[in-house]
């Protein structure tokens, strides 16, 4: 199972969430009670109407608390989580200033199963104010994740449609296991600032004024 973090910076409720370091965290690849159906999009705090966790500690606590109540189960599908965040990012395409941008962080130890659907979801998401960071944990074959990271090639959907920009950053945790945490953080966030700037520049969206100015 992996979880998702997404954040944005608009509306009072959302600003308060960021101020309080609250982030929605979702899991996928697990059977859930009471019917034990496989879910690829569930709140790890089991509160779908308010999936927020307080900072990193809150995420870890919610994740640890949910483990005894679920059963890990394949396949490992990314597209439902990506489409989940994309629905929110789509609503932000009407903004008239650089106010909203969404970041999806996926942490997974599994090999992706829905490659075609995920490629399509990423290509569509590349048109939206969002980025995707994938951290691979463990010794699985993460070559598919590296393929999604369009650093050396333009990512295409299975129908041939090209991504409008690179929005994916893949980081294999095993390469940073013995490195300082700052090194991992730098790798995880390496492409995000430029991706944010590129989106707003491409859409001619001016920066928002700082509060109190």
Digitized pLDDT (tens) for each residue of the chain, 213 residues in all: 444 454 444 444 454 555 568 889 999 999 999 999 999 999 999 999 999 999 889 999 999 999 999 999 988 899 999 999 999 899 999 989 888 899 999 999 878 999 999 999 999 999 999 999 999 999 888 888 889 987 778 999 999 999 999 999 999 999 999 999 999 999 999 999 999 999 999 999 998 875 554
- Residue position matching structure tokens 């995880």: 188
- 88 Cβ contact partners less than 8 Å away, ≥ 6 residues apart: 6, 8, 102
Query: What predicted TM-score, i.e. pTM, was given to this entire model?
Result: 0.88
Q: What is the pLDDT of residue 2?
A: 46
Q: What is the pLDDT of residue 210?
A: 59
How far, in whole angstroms, is CA 131 from its chain's centroid?
A: 7
User: Which tokens sit at 102?
Assistant: 């969404």
Q: What are the boundaries of each domain within the chain?
A: 2-202
Q: Which CATH class is domain 2-202?
A: alpha beta
- 137 Cβ contact partners less than 8 Å away, ≥ 6 residues apart: 107, 108, 109, 173, 174
Distance between CA 27 and CA 10 in Å, rounded?
25
3-state secondary structure 179-210: CCHHHHHHHHCCCHHHHHHHHHHHCCCCECCC
Q: What is the pLDDT of residue 101?
A: 93
């Amino acid at each position: 199972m992996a979880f998702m973090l997404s954040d944005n910076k608009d509306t009072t409720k959302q600003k308060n969430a960021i101020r309080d370091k609250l982030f929605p965290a979702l899991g996928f690849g697990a059977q859930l009670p009471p019917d034990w159906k496989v879910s690829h999009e569930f709140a790890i705090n089991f509160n779908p109407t308010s999936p927020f966790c307080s900072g990193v500690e809150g995420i870890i606590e919610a994740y640890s608390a949910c483990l005894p109540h679920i059963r890990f189960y394949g396949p490992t599908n990314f597209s439902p989580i990506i489409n989940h965040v994309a629905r929110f990012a789509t609503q932000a395409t009407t903004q008239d200033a650089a106010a909203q941008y969404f970041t999806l962080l996926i942490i997974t130890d599994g090999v992706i199963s829905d490659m075609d659907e995920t490629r399509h979801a990423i290509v569509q998401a590349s048109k939206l104010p969002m980025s995707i960071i994938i951290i691979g944990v463990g010794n699985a074959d993460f070559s598919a994740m590296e393929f999604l990271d369009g650093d050396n090639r333009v990512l295409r959907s299975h129908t041939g449609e090209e991504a409008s920009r690179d929005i994916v950053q893949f980081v294999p945790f095993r390469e940073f296991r013995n490195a300082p945490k700052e090194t991992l953080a730098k790798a995880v966030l390496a492409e995000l600032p430029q991706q944010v700037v590129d989106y707003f520049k491409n859409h001619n969206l001016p920066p928002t004024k700082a509060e109190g100015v």
